[in-house]
Amino acid sequence: MKIAVLPGDGIGPEIVAEAVNVLNALGESFTLEEAPVGGAGYEAKGHPLPDSTLDLAKQADAILFGAVGDWKYDSLERALRPEQAILGLRKHLSLFANFRPAILYKELASASSLKPEVVSGLDILIVRELNGDIYFGQPRGVRAAPDGPFAGAKEGFDTMRYSEPEVQRIAHVAFQAAQKRNRKVTSVDKSNVLETSQLWRDTMIEVAKQYPDVELSHMYVDNAAMQLVKAPKAFDVVVTGNMFGDILSDQAAMLTGSIGMLPSASLDKSNKGLYEPSHGSAPDIAGKGIANPLATILSAAMMLRYSLGKAEQADRVENAVKAVLAQGLRTADIWSEGTTKVGTQQMGAAVVAAL
Ligand code: NAI
Ligand code: MG
């Protein structure tokens, strides 16, 4: 099995190095091949997503991605900016299913802004559709309003679209993920108002018939936003479209309080995937050796589970992370009184030792 390793910019190379050490410590015969991406791709090959990097990503079974971006590239034209690399990879590889688990480790309970009794033990999974919806729907633009009370005035417009097959494929992903968890799917839409959402809901109900062991429920997005802060533990898998998922996944992530802890996966229809921490390249702390590598290490665990068929190894990595937290080791972003502050490399080495 081949893993493309794309460290990128800022803290990307520092945190990816620790995740690579963890993968190497598992004793599996993975082939890891590294390539430049983002600003590093621009420096090396003149493009944020060089052809050779894209080719490697296409050949690989899975991609471990650090982060891209740095203020020093702000003056480049949009097509050459580092952030285009991640958008290009999602598009070229048809990565349509975004998985964002929100897990609150009991050792980090005080990091959440919610009361312990509401949030302790939280372990939910947001599945967000990534290739469709209002972000990509045509037509879109700015024009003179053709009608209505503001006819003739400048107006912006976008189009929310989902085709039935697009909803079906994300539905299958969500139900299959739920089968590996607590067998509950909450589909989030706005079908009381939107036609797109009515098709979404009808399609979810149809696909659910193939998964009689999974319980499907529906929630309007405004209510879902309330329930996520009121009773987040009532959820297991939440499946939703691109825009609602963008907002709800960030909201759910923050219930756990710490961006340095949050992994993510973006999968295609064959479960090939790109795995990356939810945070960016953190140029403010790059090169200081203080970044938290756990989000990237936990992303590697997701890769083992979803793309490489190594669920037991994924469990081992996740348990090693819990063990290290139980030992009281903390990078600066999750440090609190009474715990031991460590750097990026020490944290990575502790996870390897715990394995
Ligand atoms: P950011 O996530 O890089 O940083 C936000 C804050 O969180 C900073 O204070 C940073 O120091 C801290 N932080 C992030 N990750 C951390 C970690 N592992 N350990 C400890 N602290 C951590 O977001 P920001 O500052 O908005 O963006 C910085 C650059 O990253 C920009 O160029 C942006 O475009 C890019 N970016 C890239 C993403 C990607 O590669 N997928 C995603 C988000 C942003
Ligand atoms: Mg977002």
- The Cα-based distances of 99 to 77, 107, 206, 215 in angstroms read 30, 23, 22, 19
Any idea which of 49-53, 79-83, 106-110, 300-304 has the lowest mean pLDDT? 106-110
77: three-class secondary structure by DSSP: coil
pLDDT of residue 268: 93
Catalytic entry in 246, 268, 322, 341: 246
Q: What would the pLDDT profile of 143-165 be if each residue is shown by its tens digit? A: 999 999 999 999 999 999 999 99
Q: What would the pLDDT profile of 274-288 be if each residue is shown by its tens digit? A: 999 989 999 999 999
Rounded to whole angstroms, how far apart are CA atoms 264 and 98? 7
Cα–ligand 1 centroid distance for 279 (angstroms)? 5
pLDDT of residue 91: 83
The answer to whether the annotation marks 285 as part of a ligand binding site is: yes
Active-site residue, 123 included: no
The answer to whether the annotation marks 280 as part of a ligand binding site is: yes
220: three-class secondary structure by DSSP: strand
Q: Do 103 and 294 form a contact (C-beta atoms < 8 A)?
A: no
From atom 25 of ligand 1, which residue's Cα is the shortest distance away?
A: 282
> What is the mean pLDDT of the segment spanning 57-68?
97
Q: Which residues crowd ion ligand 2, with CB under 5 Å?
A: 246, 250
> What is the mean pLDDT of the segment spanning 211-221?
98
Please report the domains of the chain, with CATH numbers, ordered by start residue: 1-98+262-355 (3.40.718.10), 123-254 (3.40.718.10)
From atom 26 of ligand 1, which residue's Cα is the shortest distance away?
A: 280
Strand pairing report for 2-8 and 62-67: parallel
Q: What is the DSSP string of 251-277?
A: HHHHTT--GGG-EEEEE-TTS-EEEEE
Cα–ligand 1 centroid distance for 68 (angstroms)? 9
Quote the mean pLDDT of the chain: 95
Supply 215's token pair. Answer: 């319980």
Active-site residue, 61 included: no
> What is the mean pLDDT of the segment spanning 31-54?
98
Q: What is the DSSP string of 88-128?
A: HHHHHTT--EEEEEEE--GGGGGGSSS-HHHHTT-EEEEEE
Rounded to whole angstroms, how far apart are CA atoms 204 and 206? 5
Rounded to whole angstroms, how far apart are CA atoms 326 and 352? 15
pLDDT of residue 90: 87
The answer to whether the annotation marks 283 as part of a ligand binding site is: yes
Q: Which of 8, 79, 15 is nearest to 43 (CA)?
A: 8
